[in-house]
Structure 1
Amino acid sequence: MQRKAYAPGLAAVLAAVTAGVTGLTGCSAGSGGTSSATDSKAGGPAQAVAPPGRYRTLLEPCGSIQRSTLRDLLPGADFLPVEQRERVYRGTAAVTYDTDRRAGCSWKADGPDASHQLTLDFERVVSYDPAVSDDDRAQQVYAAKETATGLPAGGTTPPRAPATGTGTAAGNLPQTATPGPSTPASGTAAAPATTATPGTTATPGTTAAPVGLEPRILADLGDAAFLDDVLTRAGSTAQRRTVSVVFRTSNVIVTIRYGEQPSRITEVPDSKELQEKAQGLARRLAEKFDE
């Protein structure tokens, strides 16, 4: 009799314990599922995120130009001793904190007839606004650089009508000049006057490029590109011309500055030659970024 009375009681206890364990297990599983769903935002509204740019790194600028190209751009290096020549061709890297975001290099060679300078600047643009793509942000940065050259809004090429005067060969048409601040004494070299190409504005101390070679938009170079050309002279020093080519490819902006300063103050650097060399380098770099 005692064994029969004990069995039902034990069964009841075991049933109660089993029910409690089952209840605890079910609660634990339910809590874990809820937490996982919250962390992964399952079922939440999808947020549109602009795509990243094509490039995550940059080319190494000092090694991005072939030796043959540097020899063409820096002819004065051929007159230097071997050790100095090699140092010129190696270039000088720009100091930056993150070479995946900004990198640059510069070269300079002084020859018997002229000094040439070349600088490269690579900038990888990253947008921190999830609604704005890296490409769109890079276009904004590029557009600001383009506007700074004085190009008309919308990126159209400035008018190329010849200035008043007797016409000469294309690319060397005379331009309307504003007299300089003073007239030089007889027998001395005259400082160049401030000159403006129609449709452009020359700042004091600078001379605009010849008609047809003025600052302008460049076609078929990256996603967008422009060229700037400035001739400057300070006091009695030789005239210096600097040609800049800036282009954007996806989220990278490349800036090339190529300058020449003749040894003789009576000589003027050839705008057409400098522009052709700078554009040639720009196209080769654009191809490297596309590889």
Structure 2
Amino acid sequence: MQRKAYVTGTAALLAALLAGCTGGSGDDSPTDNANPGNAGTATVAAQPGKYRTLPEPCGAVSHDTLDSLLPGIQQIPDTDQQDRAYQGEATLTYDTDRKVGCRWKVEAADATDHLLIDFERVVSYDNAVSDDTEAEQLFADRQTAADLPEPSTSSPTATATSSTTASASAAAKATTSGASEPTSSASPSSSASASASAPADLQPRTLDDLGDEAYLDDQLSNSGSTAEQRTVTVVFRTSNVIVTIEYDEQPTAIGTVPDSKEMQDRARKLAAQLADSLNG
């Protein structure tokens, strides 16, 4: 009888061990470990950007707009050359789904004008970061690199009064010293001085009426013996696409300075047209 009880107990022990091993193999299944502590729940990827493609850049600017930005284009006598000028030249790119651009250059009797437009579609490769967020960060980096000045807090009246007072003081000083030569104005060769003396509404600044966010830069450079070149840059972001416009003009006559307001107005008008075309 004692031998029979021993065998029965051994069989029960073996059955218990086998049951334990079977349960352990179920706990180690890949399905359970895929989402520890939250079985059956999948990770939600960040939303993709609004834009999946980019426009054809050389066809994105109308002839009328090019006539305004590049006045010399209408002065080209040869019809074939004029057509090529309107067509522009596509910039080098290795992925037309991610980055495209076009440039124009037109020489006229009084100035040479350049125009460049660039479209960049930003794609995030991090599932936790959306395309829009990635584009927003890239735009912020470019705006920081542009080093825009702090917004002016002085009123136009105060600025005008200060300017009038300074001019009167200079004139009085010249009269007192008996100087016969006229007082000279500040040299336009300094880009920083030109920017500082420009009206507040023409200084480099952020724009609140273009895309999701935008900024404008305006720089005046001097090439020594040649005329000064002004470059107006407008950059704006719409969802996950960043658009850059670079518009510059260099007069042929030394001492001639391109008009800041006129160039800014033209560049901003083009930027608004491109933003509208993106929104369809």
TM-score (norm 2): 0.73
Q: Does 1:211 align with 2:199?
A: yes
CA offsets 1:67-117 (integer angstroms, 9 cap, x no match): 111111111011112121111110000010001100000001100111111
Deviation track 1:165-187 (CA, whole Å, cap 9, x = no partner) reads 3389xxxxxxxxxxxxxxxxxxx
Pairing of 1:135-174 with structure 2 (within 5 A): 135-151=132-148, 157-159=151-153, 162=159, 165-166=163-164
AA of the residue aligned to 1:288? S
Task: Provide the residue aligned with 2:248 in structure 1.
Answer: 259
Q: How far apart are residue 158 of structure 1 and its match?
A: 4.4
Partner of 1:185: none
Q: Work out whether 1:66 is the aligned partner of 2:62.
A: yes
Give yes or no for the alignment of 1:249 onto 2:238.
yes
Match status 1:111 vs 2:100: no
Of the three residues 188, 192, 199, the one matched with 1:192 is 188
Corresponding letter in the other structure for 2:42: A
1:79 is matched with which residue? 75
Match of 1:268 in 2: 257
Does the C-alpha gap of structure 1 residues 236 and 160 become closer, same or farther in structure 2, counting only changes over 3 Å? farther
- Residue 3 of structure 1 corresponds to which residue in structure 2? none
Distance in 2 of aligned mates of 1:98 and 1:263:
37
- How many angstroms apart in 1 are the aligned matches of 2:127 and 2:146? 30
- CA RMSD, 1 decimal: 2.6
What's the secondary structure of 2:46's corresponding residue? coil
- Distance across 1 between alignment mates of 2:85 and 2:153: 39
Q: 1:159 Cα deviation (Å)?
A: 4.0
Displacement of 1:193: 3.9
Task: Quote the residue 1:89 is aligned against.
Answer: 86
State the percentage of identical aligned residues.
Answer: 51
- The answer on 1:230 being equivalent to 2:226 is no
Which amino acid counterpart does residue 55 of structure 2 have in structure 1?
L
CA contact (8 A) 2:211 2:237 kept: yes
Query: Could you tell me how far 1:160 is from its partner in structure 2?
Result: 5.0
Do the aligned residues in 1 keep the contact of 2:190 with 2:221 (CA within 8 Å)? no
Contact 2:189 2:222 in 1 (8 A): no
Residue ranges of structure 2 left out of the alignment (5+ in a row): 1-28, 167-185
- Residue correspondence of structure 1 range 4-43 to structure 2 within 5 A: none
The residue type equivalent to 1:92 in the other structure is E
Higher RCO (CA-CA < 8 Å; seq separation 6+) = 2
- Give the CA deviation at 1:290: 0.3
Deviations 1:24-50 (A, max 9, x none): xxxxxxxxxx99x79x99953321211
SS at match of 2:164: coil
Q: For residue 208 of structure 1, what is the amino acid of its counterpart?
A: S
Size of the alignment, in residue pairs? 223
Per the normalisation by structure 1, the TM-score is 0.71
For 2:128 and 2:190, locate their aligned partners in 1 and report how far apart those are by CA, in whole Å. 46
Equivalent position SS for 2:115:
strand
Shift of 1:148: 1.3
1 CA distance for matches of 2:272 and 2:165?
32
Distance 1:278 1:142 in 2: 19
Check whether the contact 2:113–2:250 (CA below 8 A) recurs between aligned residues: yes
Give 1:272 deviation, angstroms: 0.1
Aligned residue type for 2:46: A
